[in-house]
Structure 1
Amino acid sequence: MAKKKTWKEMSPAAKAGTIAAGIVNLSLLVAAQRDISKRPAAMINGPKAAWRAASFLNFIGPVGYFTFGRKKPGAVK
Protein backbone atom coordinates (compact mmCIF):
# COMPACT_ATOMS: atom_id res chain seq x y z
CA MET A 1 0.00 0.00 0.00
CA ALA A 2 1.41 3.37 -1.03
CA LYS A 3 2.09 5.98 1.61
CA LYS A 4 -0.22 8.96 1.40
CA LYS A 5 1.53 12.17 0.43
CA THR A 6 1.28 15.27 2.55
CA TRP A 7 0.20 18.56 0.97
CA LYS A 8 3.84 19.69 0.73
CA GLU A 9 4.81 16.49 -1.11
CA MET A 10 2.08 16.84 -3.75
CA SER A 11 2.85 18.19 -7.21
CA PRO A 12 1.28 21.50 -8.25
CA ALA A 13 -1.03 19.62 -10.63
CA ALA A 14 -2.18 17.31 -7.84
CA LYS A 15 -2.81 20.29 -5.57
CA ALA A 16 -4.85 22.03 -8.30
CA GLY A 17 -6.87 18.85 -8.90
CA THR A 18 -7.59 18.50 -5.20
CA ILE A 19 -8.73 22.10 -4.94
CA ALA A 20 -10.88 21.79 -8.09
CA ALA A 21 -12.55 18.62 -6.76
CA GLY A 22 -13.26 20.39 -3.48
CA ILE A 23 -14.83 23.35 -5.26
CA VAL A 24 -17.02 21.07 -7.39
CA ASN A 25 -18.08 19.09 -4.32
CA LEU A 26 -18.94 22.23 -2.35
CA SER A 27 -20.82 23.71 -5.31
CA LEU A 28 -22.92 20.55 -5.68
CA LEU A 29 -23.67 20.54 -1.95
CA VAL A 30 -24.77 24.20 -1.94
CA ALA A 31 -26.88 23.73 -5.08
CA ALA A 32 -28.60 20.64 -3.65
CA GLN A 33 -29.28 22.32 -0.30
CA ARG A 34 -30.74 25.42 -1.98
CA ASP A 35 -32.89 23.32 -4.29
CA ILE A 36 -34.21 21.24 -1.39
CA SER A 37 -35.04 24.42 0.54
CA LYS A 38 -36.87 26.10 -2.33
CA ARG A 39 -38.63 23.08 -3.87
CA PRO A 40 -42.05 22.15 -2.44
CA ALA A 41 -42.14 18.80 -0.64
CA ALA A 42 -44.63 17.52 -3.23
CA MET A 43 -41.92 17.90 -5.90
CA ILE A 44 -39.37 15.75 -4.04
CA ASN A 45 -39.29 11.94 -3.98
CA GLY A 46 -39.20 11.05 -0.29
CA PRO A 47 -38.71 13.22 2.79
CA LYS A 48 -36.82 16.47 2.46
CA ALA A 49 -34.85 15.77 5.64
CA ALA A 50 -33.52 12.50 4.23
CA TRP A 51 -32.36 14.17 1.01
CA ARG A 52 -30.85 17.04 2.98
CA ALA A 53 -28.78 14.57 5.03
CA ALA A 54 -27.87 12.46 1.99
CA SER A 55 -26.61 15.50 0.12
CA PHE A 56 -23.71 15.75 2.59
CA LEU A 57 -22.19 12.54 1.16
CA ASN A 58 -19.29 13.56 -1.08
CA PHE A 59 -20.42 13.86 -4.71
CA ILE A 60 -22.75 10.85 -4.41
CA GLY A 61 -25.39 12.61 -2.29
CA PRO A 62 -25.95 15.74 -4.40
CA VAL A 63 -25.75 13.82 -7.68
CA GLY A 64 -28.19 11.26 -6.28
CA TYR A 65 -30.58 14.01 -5.24
CA PHE A 66 -30.49 15.70 -8.66
CA THR A 67 -30.88 12.32 -10.39
CA PHE A 68 -33.46 10.56 -8.20
CA GLY A 69 -34.74 13.03 -5.61
CA ARG A 70 -36.54 15.54 -7.78
CA LYS A 71 -39.82 14.80 -9.51
CA LYS A 72 -40.20 15.82 -13.11
CA PRO A 73 -42.30 18.93 -13.81
CA GLY A 74 -45.95 18.02 -14.07
CA ALA A 75 -45.46 14.85 -12.01
CA VAL A 76 -47.15 16.20 -8.86
CA LYS A 77 -49.72 13.73 -7.59
Structure 2
Amino acid sequence: MRATSKDVSTGGRVGVGILGLVQFALAGLALWDLSHRSAAQVRGPKPMWVPVILINWIGPIAYFYVHRHR
Protein backbone atom coordinates (compact mmCIF):
# COMPACT_ATOMS: atom_id res chain seq x y z
CA MET A 1 0.00 0.00 0.00
CA ARG A 2 1.35 3.38 -1.00
CA ALA A 3 1.05 6.46 1.19
CA THR A 4 -0.46 9.49 -0.47
CA SER A 5 -0.64 13.13 0.53
CA LYS A 6 -4.12 12.42 1.92
CA ASP A 7 -2.51 10.09 4.49
CA VAL A 8 -0.34 12.89 5.92
CA SER A 9 -1.86 15.17 8.53
CA THR A 10 -2.06 18.91 8.02
CA GLY A 11 0.57 19.42 10.72
CA GLY A 12 2.86 16.98 8.93
CA ARG A 13 2.47 18.84 5.66
CA VAL A 14 3.19 22.16 7.36
CA GLY A 15 6.26 20.68 9.06
CA VAL A 16 7.64 19.32 5.80
CA GLY A 17 6.95 22.65 4.12
CA ILE A 18 8.79 24.57 6.83
CA LEU A 19 11.76 22.20 6.67
CA GLY A 20 11.85 22.63 2.89
CA LEU A 21 11.85 26.41 3.20
CA VAL A 22 14.63 26.32 5.81
CA GLN A 23 16.72 24.04 3.59
CA PHE A 24 16.14 26.30 0.57
CA ALA A 25 17.04 29.42 2.59
CA LEU A 26 20.19 27.79 3.99
CA ALA A 27 21.38 26.76 0.52
CA GLY A 28 20.54 30.22 -0.86
CA LEU A 29 22.44 31.93 1.92
CA ALA A 30 25.46 29.68 1.36
CA LEU A 31 25.43 30.36 -2.40
CA TRP A 32 25.06 34.10 -1.78
CA ASP A 33 27.96 34.05 0.69
CA LEU A 34 30.12 32.08 -1.75
CA SER A 35 29.43 34.52 -4.57
CA HIS A 36 30.35 37.53 -2.42
CA ARG A 37 33.65 36.19 -1.06
CA SER A 38 36.98 36.36 -2.83
CA ALA A 39 38.70 33.11 -3.74
CA ALA A 40 41.32 33.82 -1.08
CA GLN A 41 38.64 33.71 1.62
CA VAL A 42 37.33 30.28 0.58
CA ARG A 43 39.04 26.99 1.33
CA GLY A 44 39.33 25.14 -1.98
CA PRO A 45 38.16 26.26 -5.41
CA LYS A 46 34.90 28.20 -5.42
CA PRO A 47 33.31 26.19 -8.28
CA MET A 48 33.77 23.00 -6.24
CA TRP A 49 31.53 24.40 -3.49
CA VAL A 50 28.47 24.93 -5.71
CA PRO A 51 27.54 21.23 -6.10
CA VAL A 52 28.49 20.59 -2.48
CA ILE A 53 26.10 23.31 -1.31
CA LEU A 54 23.29 21.76 -3.36
CA ILE A 55 23.47 18.52 -1.34
CA ASN A 56 20.48 18.50 1.03
CA TRP A 57 21.25 19.94 4.47
CA ILE A 58 24.80 18.56 4.59
CA GLY A 59 26.20 20.78 1.84
CA PRO A 60 25.29 24.21 3.21
CA ILE A 61 26.25 23.22 6.74
CA ALA A 62 29.59 21.85 5.51
CA TYR A 63 30.18 25.08 3.58
CA PHE A 64 29.70 27.27 6.64
CA TYR A 65 31.83 25.04 8.89
CA VAL A 66 34.67 24.17 6.50
CA HIS A 67 35.01 26.76 3.74
CA ARG A 68 36.69 29.66 5.50
CA HIS A 69 40.38 29.84 6.20
CA ARG A 70 40.94 29.96 9.92
TM-score, normalised with respect to structure 2: 0.91
1:4 to partner: Cα distance: 5.6
Gaps of 5+ in 2: none
Q: Secondary structure at the match of 1:58?
A: coil
Among 14, 25, 28, the residue aligned to 2:26: 28
Alpha-carbon deviations, 1:26-75, whole Å to 9, x = none?
00110011001000000001011111110000000000000101224xxx
- 2:42 counterpart residue number: 44
Percentage identity across aligned positions? 34
Larger proportion of helix: 2
Q: What is the root-mean-square deviation of aligned Cα atoms in Å?
A: 1.3
Q: Aligned partners of 1:49 and 1:39: how far apart in 2?
A: 12
5+ residue gaps, structure 1, are: 73-77
The TM-score with structure 1 as length reference comes to: 0.83
